[in-house]
Copies of this chain bind each other. A is one copy, B any other.
């Protein structure tokens, strides 16, 4: 239930990203997931545990099977984090660079971001 793990860390592993893609299409049990990978069932089980720990997957017991269901709302966190930098892959970038580099001492005319703490003691050379 509790979040013990960073969602960014969870999706860092390519196998886990594949598992996510797999479960997004439909829920399935652990063995069925494992059949899609070269690694052992136990290894997959570990990945699933990690995904569960950061609420990307929920598991329900059904007889002796454990059905894994994607619950990817948490990925919104990642989506939003990247969103704030989307300016870097749009045409606005050129304009922005000019604005920032030509304005004398106001690097704060950027769209809202989450770096207030990190930036607060930045020394401008």
Contacts and interface: CB of A to CB of B under 8 A. Distances in A.
A20 interface: yes
A91 to B, nearest CB: 12
A40 interface: no
A99 B59 CA distance: 21
User: Which bracket fits the contact residues of A?
Assistant: 35 or more
A121 B37 CA distance: 10
Contact of A76 (B9, B26, B89, B122): B89
A70 B82 contact: no
B100 A75 contact: no
Interface string A13-30: 010011011101110110
A58 to B, nearest CB: 12
19 contacts: A6-B12, A8-B14, A9-B12, A17-B81, A18-B115, A18-B118, A22-B122, A24-B84, A25-B100, A25-B113, A32-B122, A35-B121, A36-B119, A71-B88, A76-B86, A76-B88, A76-B89, A79-B82, A82-B82
Interface of A: 6, 8-9, 11-12, 14, 17-18, 20-22, 24-26, 28-29, 32, 35-36, 70-73, 75-76, 78-79, 81-86, 88-89, 100, 107-108, 110, 113-115, 118-119, 121-125
